Structure 1
Amino acid sequence: MSTHDVVNQPPPRVDVDEFAADVPLREAVARYDADWALGELGAVGRHVGSAEFQADAERANVREPQLRAFDRWGNRLDEVEYDESYHRILASAVAVGAHTSAFDDPRPGAAVARAATFMLFAQVEPGHACPVSMTHAAVPALAADADLAAEWMPRLLSREYDGRLAAGKASALFGMAMTEKQGGSDVRANTTRALADGAGRWLLTGHKWFCSAPMSDAFLVLAQTSAGLSCFLVPRVLEDGTRNVFLVQRLKDKLGNRSNASSEVEFDGTVGFLLGEEGRGVRTIIEMVSRTRLDCVLGSAAGMRQGVAEAAWHVRHRSAFGARLVDQPAMTAVLADLALESEAATALALRLARAHDADASEQEVAFRRLATAVGKYWVCKRGPGHAAEALECLGGNGYTEAFPLARRYREQPVMAIWEGSGNVIALDVLRALGREAAPREAFDSELAAARGVHAAFDAHHDRLRIRLREAAEVDGALAQAHARSLVAALAVALQASLLIRTAPPAVADAFVAGRLSPDRGALYGELPAGVDTAALIARA
């Protein structure tokens, strides 16, 4: 009797067109004026679904970046060595504009096409998305200085990739160094100092607790001047070809995001260039923060899609107790619920992307001001639990490093932390609600557009309006104590509104029943009776 015949195991999920397979993403791209990009996105979907790209994704996370602080003779190098797989992934993402294509060709739907491209790459290998996202977000920040923009913008918009630290490169990627160990999200507590050298440059001294992608060509850095917290552009290589002082003290040993190097860096007379008005550093980076928060939503939604795709593949090819797993009602309910969560996240992510397009109206700008923070809080918070449930669908296989969902499970929490953890985002939402009426009114208009279809949604919207009025009347401490539940209610309402208006009735009905009805469940797989689970799974 042979003990080594492999039976009842799914075939490898490789050479898949990830864009064609993702029905909600394809529909959202067409809905939000980016149907002109369908051909290019199909090519991206086939690339990231290829066996070669998946192998690179695994290899880049297994062969992690290594710090080379010194050469053999003791000279400072401060370089990070990546496996060639990481360079191939990053080069292919840049080549199709996953970083700055929306700014390079700002037509209607450009931000949507770029978002979909970003999501397809991040679905399979999320670590490289960090420098891609930061480069994207640096573009609006550079608008604060015409001279710096003229110097750097062509390089940011380039589709070339060059991983060397060198002067005269035709392309560039950006990183950020904002937080410090004593402050974290409280960047106003920063102690890094910047002194003008009298020749148009500034010299920075200080320690940054988190500096992402330290091999980037330039960084946006916050530092204190006599006028207060200011923003600086810090290049790694100066115009004469010499290395700027950029002392990489160590690489962070992180839970996930292993292919991407995050570091601590020391500045000691490091050359920087003032970006924006001195003392108004937070104002300079505010639009950049909005863009990176959007990418957190995109990255979390991409991770959900990976979880659904891998789980669906497994349960369609695996049998137990006399039937395929997908045909067993308990598993059908779990997979359908996971697919529903993924579709809701995708719908919200692409709607936010459309609001970030260059042709956004004043109402759209007001909407995204509030909705981006709301979406960032909720979708990123839902990511880790979703990954855990998807992993469980694979059973023991899911818990091993031979399959990609263990890596995804470690990856999802970073999106909830990066660019503001839960409390920071919830308090930002409160500030956005109280600062001016336009964001609140634009958000409410988006919800109101779905009224009259589902009584449960209308009732939720009515309660939400009451809560918003009450939140404006109570003292600050009480409002903060209940901020999280308010933001969650706003997020689920927005997702429901989008699905009611844009998704097939089976999807919208399931979401309202599973997220807003009195008998909704607390865990995945607890959908109320009457939900068309077969229709949800068919879209997965």
Structure 2
Amino acid sequence: MSAPGFDFDHVGNQVPVLENYNTFTTHPILQNTLQAYGGGWAASLATEVGQLMGSHEFQEAGTLANTYLPVLHTHDRFGNRLDTVTYHPSYHQMMAAAIRHQVHSIAWTTKEKGGYLAHSVLSYLKQQIDEGSSCPLTMTFAVVPSLQIAPDIAREWLPLVLSNRYDERHIPYTEKHGVTFGMAMTEPQGGSDVRANITIAQPVGDGVYHITGRKWFCSAPMSDAFLVLAQAPKGLSCFLVPRFIPDGTKNQLRFQRLKDKLGNRSNASGEVEFHGTWGRIIGEEGRGIANIMEMVRHTRLDCAVGSAATLQRALAEAIHHCKHRQTFGKSLLSHPLMQNVLTDLALESAAATTFAMRLAKGFDDAKTDEAALHFTRIATAAGKFWNTKRAVLAMGEIVECLGGNGYVETSILPRLYRDVPVNAIWEGSGNIQALDVLRAMHKEPHSMEALRHYFQQGAQLHPLLTRHLEGLQQLLSRPADYERNARIIVEKMSLAIQAIELIQTSSATVAEMFVQARLRQDRQLTWGALEEMNGWEEVVATVYNGE
């Protein structure tokens, strides 16, 4: 018998689901950077994608794809090799929508200036509903410059790579409307040290090789083709390995299992063996690392973009929650300490988004400006390092903003929390990025000259920035300590770039609060420790201004 006067069927003070909103038009800092960096022509497309990605339908698709995970089928019922991966229909729904809206292709096909910027904004919006399906989209986008190294391969494959028709069928690429790409670089004994790879490639004539060995990680094993590193007679080389060889028969890729990963679970990552597998060399023998790095450089851009996107998506949930949730007689957002926490996180999100889009602008500018090309050489590694690390740290604080409601699996936050570390690890973890910056400083002095020039131009924008850059210069004056101080150097570079770009592109309130919060030598290390908060409402609204 129910207690008299108690309504067990009514639950009060619960926050409505954040859905059916436009993830682009409710995000002023993203709109602002698209306009400020020269991609305003893409705003209508971004608005269309933002409306789609914020819809209940696509929010639910992201949930379903991460609930019903990919399944590997190694054999059919008769024992024949299959090596196929099946996905929930929601995964294909997201892939089809993203490809239809040119997430993978617009950087290469548009005649407008700002193609990389448009790609990055669209990728940012897509990333917010699902990390996993963003992986093959990124690799399909990023493979283009590597394929262009081999003109014959490019002529055959690029029309399919750049097609805006998604074709999930497991059939020869010559029969498809469009293709996706994956990659296989690392091996059990080497990991990031790909020079330790022992997979071998034997030439059989006309640029064709037979590859034998195994890979510890093969990203997106359902893809139509992969870039693979293997040891050729003259050294480590890069190969295009399709799922089907030109005569239409299945290539000898044998997938052993799918990885059981922390996050990024809607995306399959597999272990693969090559049994005399057919492949075509890209470029020259012995140039494998340089040739596949053209792909890696572009995927690192997407890592910086993706981390900024996931950070903002989670923060939008927190802001939305704090607007609607009542505690101690008023909304959570009305409490000064919660205001401090959300404002601090909003500064982080605004800076990460701006940094990512500034990198995209650098890729665009590099088409015609050699100095911009040199700038992106270091800045991309720094952005990949900083954005991916900060997002991991911020995510823990964002979950805490929702308390227990953010910790349960029916909330999106646990999935975002698990997803975000992959960008810090994929394409080289933090130490690899920091060492890559040092390598560029040493082997490509023009890249450091371009960065110094950029800093010199920005040094006078704010007294704290001037002092911050003086500290960076002191570190750079001690080459003997470079490796030990590599992370400190990259951190200071990243904060300086963020400050310069926010000062030049965002409101005075956002820029000043960021500089005070991040460049003071006595800055606090916990979130929500801002000393000055004049204009906090404006800062929070720059990253999410929905109801």
Alpha-carbon shift at residue 466 of structure 1 (Å): 2.2
Cα contact 1:224–1:230 (8 A) shared by 2: yes
Q: Distance in 2 between matches of 1:393 and 1:447?
A: 36
Q: Does 1:517 align with 2:520?
A: yes
Alpha-carbon shift at residue 106 of structure 1 (Å): 4.7
Q: 2:142 matched to which residue of 1? A: 137
- Among residues 499, 504, 520, which one is paired with 1:501 in the alignment? 504
**2:278 alignment partner AA:** V
Partner SS state of residue 197, structure 1: strand
**1:410 alignment partner AA:** R
**1:421 alignment partner AA:** S
- Among residues 87, 111, 120, which one is paired with 1:115 in the alignment? 120
Q: Mean Cα displacement is larger for which, 80-89 or 516-525? A: 516-525
Q: 2:475 matched to which residue of 1? A: 467
Question: Percent of pairs identical after alignment?
Answer: 47
Pairing 1:450-465 to 2, within 5 Å after superposition: 450-465=458-473
Per-residue displacement from partner, 1:258-282 (whole Å, max 9, x unpaired)?
0000000000010000101111101
Cα contact 2:253–2:273 (8 A) shared by 1: yes
Cα contact 2:186–2:217 (8 A) shared by 1: yes
Cα contact 1:108–1:359 (8 A) shared by 2: no
Per-residue displacement from partner, 1:157-178 (whole Å, max 9, x unpaired)?
1000011121221211100001
Alpha-carbon shift at residue 509 of structure 1 (Å): 0.8
Q: Does 1:187 align with 2:187?
A: no
Alpha-carbon shift at residue 524 of structure 1 (Å): 1.1
Alpha-carbon shift at residue 391 of structure 1 (Å): 1.2
Cα contact 1:520–1:528 (8 A) shared by 2: no
Q: 2:388 matched to which residue of 1? A: 380
Q: 2:283 matched to which residue of 1? A: 276
Q: Distance in 1 between matches of 2:466 and 2:128?
A: 34
Q: Does 1:92 align with 2:100?
A: no
Q: 1:61 matched to which residue of 2? A: 66
Q: 1:40 matched to which residue of 2? A: 45
Pairing 1:316-331 to 2, within 5 Å after superposition: 316-331=323-338
Alpha-carbon shift at residue 146 of structure 1 (Å): 0.7
**2:539 alignment partner AA:** L
Q: Distance in 1 between matches of 2:117 and 2:244?
A: 33
Partner SS state of residue 298, structure 1: helix
Q: 2:427 matched to which residue of 1? A: 419
Alpha-carbon shift at residue 399 of structure 1 (Å): 0.5
Q: 1:404 matched to which residue of 2? A: 412
Alpha-carbon shift at residue 257 of structure 1 (Å): 0.2
Alpha-carbon shift at residue 427 of structure 1 (Å): 0.5
Q: Distance in 1 between matches of 2:450 and 2:531?
A: 32
Q: TM-score, normalised by structure 1?
A: 0.97
Q: Does 1:238 align with 2:241?
A: no
Q: Distance in 2 between matches of 1:394 and 1:406?
A: 11
Q: Distance in 2 between matches of 1:482 and 1:489?
A: 11
Q: Distance in 1 between matches of 2:262 and 2:116?
A: 30
Q: 1:338 matched to which residue of 2? A: 345
**1:237 alignment partner AA:** F
Q: Distance in 1 between matches of 2:368 and 2:262?
A: 37
Q: Does 1:311 align with 2:314?
A: no
CA-atom RMSD in angstroms: 1.1
Q: Mean Cα displacement is larger for which, 495-504 or 258-267? A: 495-504
Q: Does 1:438 align with 2:446?
A: yes
Alpha-carbon shift at residue 444 of structure 1 (Å): 2.2
Partner SS state of residue 390, structure 1: helix
Per-residue displacement from partner, 1:22-61 (whole Å, max 9, x unpaired)?
1100000011111111111100000000000001000000
Detail structure 1 runs of 4+ shifted over 3 Å in the superposition: none
Q: Mean Cα displacement is larger for which, 478-487 or 391-400? A: 478-487
Partner SS state of residue 20, structure 1: coil
- Tell me: CA distance 1:360–1:522, structure 2 relative to 1, closer, same or farther (3 Å): farther
For structure 1, the residue ranges without an aligned partner over 5 or more in a row are: none
Q: 2:374 matched to which residue of 1? A: 366
Q: Distance in 2 between matches of 1:52 and 1:236?
A: 32
Q: Does 1:16 align with 2:24?
A: no
Q: Mean Cα displacement is larger for which, 266-275 or 494-503? A: 494-503
**1:170 alignment partner AA:** H
Q: 1:210 matched to which residue of 2? A: 217
- Among residues 347, 359, 382, which one is paired with 1:352 in the alignment? 359
Q: Distance in 1 between matches of 2:111 and 2:372?
A: 16
Q: Distance in 2 between matches of 1:174 and 1:195?
A: 23
- Among residues 488, 491, 495, which one is paired with 1:492 in the alignment? 495
Q: Distance in 1 between matches of 2:460 and 2:287?
A: 46
Q: Distance in 2 between matches of 1:450 and 1:364?
A: 15
Partner SS state of residue 74, structure 1: coil
Cα contact 1:115–1:353 (8 A) shared by 2: yes
Q: Distance in 2 between matches of 1:319 and 1:119?
A: 31
Alpha-carbon shift at residue 238 of structure 1 (Å): 1.6
Cα contact 1:450–1:501 (8 A) shared by 2: no
Q: 1:292 matched to which residue of 2? A: 299
Q: Distance in 2 between matches of 1:447 and 1:5?
A: 58
Q: Distance in 1 between matches of 2:297 and 2:368?
A: 15
